[in-house]
Amino acid sequence: MQRILSWLLGGAVLAVCIPFVFGTGVSEAADKAPVPKVEAPKGPRAIIKTKFGEIELKLFPDLAPKHVENFIKLAKDGFYNGTIFHRVIPGFMIQGGDPNTKDSLKKDSYGQGGPGYTVKAEFSDTPHKRGIVSMARANDPDTAGSQFFIVVEDSRFLDRKYTVFGEVTKGIGVADKIVNLPRNDRDLPNDRIEMTVTIVE
């Protein structure tokens, strides 16, 4: 059986045939449809805990094996625990991972610390889009150590100049809160945003 529905559109009658559906077959079929499974990201992950919440990262060992290996080692050693996001620039990124930031009385040294060694650059074609995690460095491309940054807005001018080694999969809103904190003329937030970093494999 069909029902005719008509609408008057600009002087013309539009008629549409709509079949009646008897019983509950449609809803029953929908009820029996399999629920798609949400799979956790494959490969190593990191969770950065802050007082604003957690930022979950998917790491890219295929793109930057040495940087991922280094980040995982430092995190497992507790190197990042108690460090802060010491540089925040709205519309750009938040940076952390400097061991000097564990001491609240040595602000002049923030941004200069590292693990005591460097990691050779592993540039790739992966763009620095919102959510990308990349390694900070000095002028020499091969001077990355422990400091990293999370991009909060697309920053393609960094492509193939800094090593991308991960991406935020959950909690980018936490980074947004951090990047918008009041800060001084050196982009250091007035409030200490300490982190702990754990690895999930």
For the stretch 119-171, pLDDT in tens is 999 999 999 999 999 999 999 999 999 999 999 999 999 999 999 999 999 99
SS (H, E, C) 85-113: EEEEECCCEEEECCHHHHCCCCHHHCCCC
Positions of the chain with pLDDT under 70: 1-41
3-class SS of residue 65: helix
Q: How distant, in Å, are the alpha carbons of 19, 20, 171, 180 from that of 94? A: 57, 57, 13, 10
* pTM listed for this prediction: 0.80
Q: Which domains does the chain have, with CATH numbers?
A: 2-32 (no CATH), 45-200 (2.40.100.10)
User: Strands 45-50 and 2-9, how do they pair?
Assistant: unpaired
φ and ψ at 23, to 5 degrees?
Answer: 75, -165
pLDDT at 38: 47
Distance of alpha carbon 39 from alpha carbon 189, whole angstroms: 36
In eight-state DSSP terms, residue 191 is S
Tell me the sheet residues that pair with 93: 89, 151
pLDDT the model gives residue 9: 38
For residue 24, CA distances in Å to 20, 28, 29, 31, 94 come to: 12, 6, 9, 11, 54
